[in-house]
Chains A and B, each alone.
Chain A
Amino acid sequence: MGRRTIVHVDMDAFFCAVELLRHPEYAGKPLVVGGRRDSTRAVVSSCSYEARAYGIHSAMPIQKAVRLCPHAIFIPPDHAAYVEVSSRIHALFETMAPVVEPVSIDEAFLDMSGCEHFYDDLTTMGAVIKQRVYETVRCKATVGIAENKLLAKLATDLSKPDGLMVIDRHNMDEILLPLPVRKLWGVGEKTAEQLASLNIHTVADIRKCGPDRLKNLLGSWGSAIYQMALGQDERPVETPKPAKSIGHEVTFAEDIPFGPALFDALSAVSHQTAKRLQKDGRYGRTVHLKVRFSDFKTITRSQTHSEGFNRASFIYNTALSLLKKIPPRPVRLLGVSVSDLQTCRQTSLFSTTDEGRVDELLNKLNSGLKNPLITTAADLAVKTGRFADQVTGPEPPHPARRTTYPPSQKP
């Protein structure tokens, strides 16, 4: 791979920054986005640097944050507003970089290889990006530039907030070597402990240790860590490819006998699948059912329709008819997914309900919500397992041992 120029852009305390645009009066004060101060279950989504000074950080329960800083301002998140600002930032990146890979709502990689000559040097490039972001959305960003994703992200980590850092061959070792191992991508507490057992605490220690011992200790992950310690990372910046299928599956804490309780669970996974389809604005044409029996034998069944669909009731009914054709044995895992995805749908001359208009209305009502609040009665019946309830009466749902979705993206 030739020499690349990779830029990592990370918005500073993004949710807070967006809130500050609407509430300038919060400026300079500890601000916590996540939930109201009396919220018992919410966690911190984002907090201002003033709040961080009190030890507040994201994912912390709101109540703990209240104890740490009682006079902080606590507000619930307004996801729609953040998405809107984020999409404007993304649109800006698209005009500046040939390849843009959004990492999350407030973070992206830009592959600027070949664009270097537009700027005096890489520091100027970074400064221009920071400035354009600020001009576009009035929020501050930290920019890291290096020849790969690992180092670019490291550069933003080390220079936040409102920072700009270029890591190149001249300063790489100076920056990298003294870093604690935890700063490397994917090195968590557990790996850090294992490394500490070899008396490895810093990146320099990893270099000294050499690849072979690391590989003995951690297998291929050890080799990967050694590569990172050398500052090497070949991963390309990639435009996200749309998923080929969307689905949901659930593994039961106890095997479920074939019967109403299983249909109940099927309605729940159908509903999750439909929710994701609708969120992505897509329609599928094929429903896949995956069933793993108690003896781990796994079977899949599918049915293709001539028309696109995105409704939970439709997915449930198709999956149910497939389920009823398989041997009635206790089930350990149940999954539903939808493929042949399209972003468009041929409308019909003869639909009795104007599904298109219903979709449009639902999209409008639910726009920006993480969990759509409004749905059709038929889909609600699927969500609440009403079909099965009619047979079994209200029974507590079986606890899920683990859920993953989409199944195809499971590592």
Chain B
Amino acid sequence: MKFKIQRERLVQGISTVERAVSGKDTKDASSPITGIFIETVDNQLHLVATDLEIGVECFIPAEVEEIGKIVLEGRVLSQLARKLDGEEVRCQLKESGIALLECGRARFNLHTLPAGDFPALPDIEGEQMWKIKQSDLRRMIRQTIFSVSADDSKPVLSGVKMEIDGLELHMAATDIYRLAYRHTPLVNEAAGAKAAEIIPARALQELLRVLDNEDEALVEFYITRKLAMFRLPGVKVTTRVIDGLFPDYRRALQFSDSGTKAIKVQRSELLAAVERAALITSRRGMSLVKLALDAGEKLLSVYAQEAEVGQVNEDIPVQGDLDESPEPVEATYQTYYLMDVLRYLDSDEVALDIGDGRRQGIIRPVGDDNYIYVLMPVRVG
């Protein structure tokens, strides 16, 4: 095996797949999944990395002189590729199982891992793939993935529920205290085929890195009971789905549409106010902010206090059809439950229903009916 490749392309390819390399320092140091698999295919390099949970592969143009395949230790390869100094990288597998890698004046002799043992990524063949715009999927992931649970003891909550009802893709993520949900029409309707599985957040994070923001580019995908696969030009992300029962998120979305209670507020203003509030409360325990609506004055008060630090209040102007005889409404939330969603929405304004301190609060981007964020308050005292 022997090839030449532009250094930049190699770095790009490696950075696409490197996070799928098994992070576990496996007991078996020679296990090939700690490495990146490189195979020559028709003037391209096929790069693959997997931890057996998720797999990422990509194709990059190269000048192939001799066909073959090698596996190079992942961390070493990704670090040295970035440090190389030169336009072109030349790589050659010598008979001794050592790979010679040259760039500029540097010559590396690298031990390879057994390429024959590298696991083949499962493929989904023969199914018609669903198609969706890359920019749409990108937005869906960005605006839901932050709501997955960080609690390792609840694996089903470490993923995003993806449902295809034949016409649309629905994505929901929750840690049981808040829920982010978005739905988007598919580009093709894929003969009404349906699916509903939990996709690991980590896989979606990898996918997010390669999805294009450009409007027209498409991503093809398919989800089975065991696997999900996403295919973009030159890149494929494969992942196991998470086995288990996802909370009935549609139940959390069933509430009487209290449209009259929703107020409109500038997203960046609310975000900045909550971020300032979080500064004084981000200590041990929960970081809490109290939202209180003064319908008469059309002001939303953002208040936080911390016993040994101090307190802060900020009044933000709001718009909307506010109740004529307003009961003072207030509710306390964890600051990051508000900051997360406000950071990832795109709209200038958000419609905010702060709830009443007992029931859920609701945040939606103004002018975008496909997204909804529901968060539960913190009971104080």
Of the candidate stretches A18-26, A106-114, A347-355, A367-375, the one touching chain B is A347-355
Beta-carbon nearest neighbor of A282 in chain B: B381
Task: List the count of A-B residue pairs having beta carbons below 8 Å apart.
Answer: 50
User: Which A residues lie within 8 Å of B176 (CB)?
Assistant: 348-350
Q: How far is the CA of A346 from the CA of B332 in the complex (A)?
A: 9
CB distance from A184 to the nearest CB of B (A): 36
Contacting residues of chain A (338-362) with chain B, CB-CB under 8 angstroms: 342-350, 356-357, 359
Question: Does the CB pair A342–B285 fall under 8 Å?
Answer: yes
23 contacts between A and B (CB under 8 A): A306-B151, A342-B285, A343-B380, A344-B288, A344-B379, A344-B380, A345-B379, A346-B177, A346-B334, A348-B177, A348-B376, A349-B174, A349-B176, A349-B177, A349-B178, A349-B179, A349-B252, A349-B376, A350-B174, A350-B247, A350-B251, A350-B252, A356-B379
Taking A349-B177, A349-B179, A349-B252 as known contacts, 15 extra A-B pairs with beta carbons closer than 8 A to each other, sorted by chain A number, are A306-B153, A342-B285, A344-B379, A344-B380, A346-B177, A346-B286, A346-B334, A347-B376, A347-B379, A348-B176, A349-B176, A349-B178, A349-B360, A356-B379, A359-B379
User: CB of B358 within 8 A of chain A?
Assistant: yes
B380 near A347: Cβ-Cβ < 8 Å: no
Mask of A272-284 contacts with B, CB within 8 angstroms, 1/0: 0000000001000
| Interface membership of B299, Cβ < 8 A | no
Q: Is the CB of B374 within 8 A of A344?
A: no
Alpha-carbon distance between A342 and B284 when the two chains are bound, in angstroms: 11
Encode A194-230 as 1/0 by CB contact (under 8 A) with B.
Answer: 0000000000000000000000000000000000000
CB distance from B224 to the nearest CB of A (A): 27
Interface size on A, residues (CB 8 A): 14
List B residues 339-381 near A (Cβ within 8 Å). 358, 360, 374, 376-381
| B127 CB–A CB distance under 8 Å | no
User: Does B177 lie within 8 Å of A347, measured CB to CB?
Assistant: yes
Q: Are B377 and A347 in contact (CB under 8 A)?
A: yes
Binding site for A on B (CB under 8 A): 151, 153, 174, 176-179, 247-248, 251-252, 285-286, 288, 332, 334, 358, 360, 374, 376-381
* Closest A residue by C-beta to B178: A349
Nearest CB of chain B from residue A243's CB, rounded to whole Å? 15
Cross-chain contact of B381 among A281, A347, A357 (Cβ < 8 A): A281
- Using a CB–CB cutoff of 8 Å, the interface residues on chain A facing chain B are 281, 306, 342-350, 356-357, 359
Q: Counting chain B CB atoms within 10 Å of each CB, which of A345, A346, A348 scores highest?
A: A346
Report whether A349 and B358 are in contact in the complex, using a CB–CB cutoff of 8 Å.
Answer: no
| Known interface pairs A281-B381, A349-B360, A350-B176; A344-B376 also in contact (CB < 8 Å) | no
CA–CA, A309 and B345, complex, Å:
33
Measured between beta carbons, the chain B residues less than 8 angstroms from A346 are 177, 286, 334, 376, 378
Nearest first, the 9 closest Cβ-Cβ pairs linking A and B are A344-B380, A349-B252, A347-B376, A350-B247, A344-B378, A345-B379, A348-B176, A306-B151, A346-B378
**When the two chains form their complex, are residues B380 and A356 in contact, meaning their CB atoms are under 8 A apart?**
no
Residues in A whose Cβ lies below 8 Å from that of B378: 344-347
CA distance A409 to B374 in the complex (A): 42
A359 to B381, CA, bound (A): 11
Beta-carbon nearest neighbor of A356 in chain B: B379
Chain B residues whose CB sits within 8 angstroms of the CB of A349 once the complex forms: 174, 176-179, 247, 252, 360, 374, 376
* CB closest residue in chain A, given B359: A347
Q: How far is the CA of A350 from the CA of B254 in the complex (A)?
A: 12
Interchain CB contact under 8 A, B381 and A344: yes
Question: How distant is the Cα of A347 from the Cα of B376 in the complex, in angstroms?
Answer: 6
Nearest chain B CB to A309 CB, angstrom units? 13
For A343, what are the chain B residues with a Cβ–Cβ distance below 8 Å? 380-381
Distance between Cα atoms of A349 and B381 in the complex (Å): 19
- Nearest chain B CB to A87's CB is how many angstroms away? 14
A356 touches which one: B153, B178, B332, B358 (CB < 8 A)? B358
Give A390 Cβ to nearest chain B Cβ, in Å.
Answer: 29
- Select from chain B the residue with minimum beta-carbon distance to A343: B381
User: Whole-angstrom distance from the CB of B53 to the nearest CB of chain A?
Assistant: 23
A344–B288 alpha-carbon span in the complex (Å):
10
Q: Are B177 and A344 in contact (CB under 8 A)?
A: no
Determine the residue in chain A with the shortest Cβ distance to B358. Answer: A356
Residues in A whose Cβ lies below 8 Å from that of B252: 349-350
CB-based contact B248/A350 at 8 Å: yes
Closest to A354 in B: B358
Nearest-neighbour CB distance to chain A for B332, whole angstroms, equals 7
Complex CA gap A359/B379 in Å reads 10
B360 surroundings in chain A (CB, below 8 A)? 349
- The answer to whether B332 and A344 touch across the interface, beta carbons within 8 angstroms, is yes
The residues of A that contact B332 with a CB separation of less than 8 Å are: 344
A281 to B374, CA, bound (A): 26
* Min CB gap A155→B, angstroms: 33
A359 to B380, CA, bound (A): 12
- Cα separation A369 to B247 with both chains bound (whole Å): 38
| Min CB gap A361→B, angstroms | 12
| CA–CA, A6 and B368, complex, Å | 63
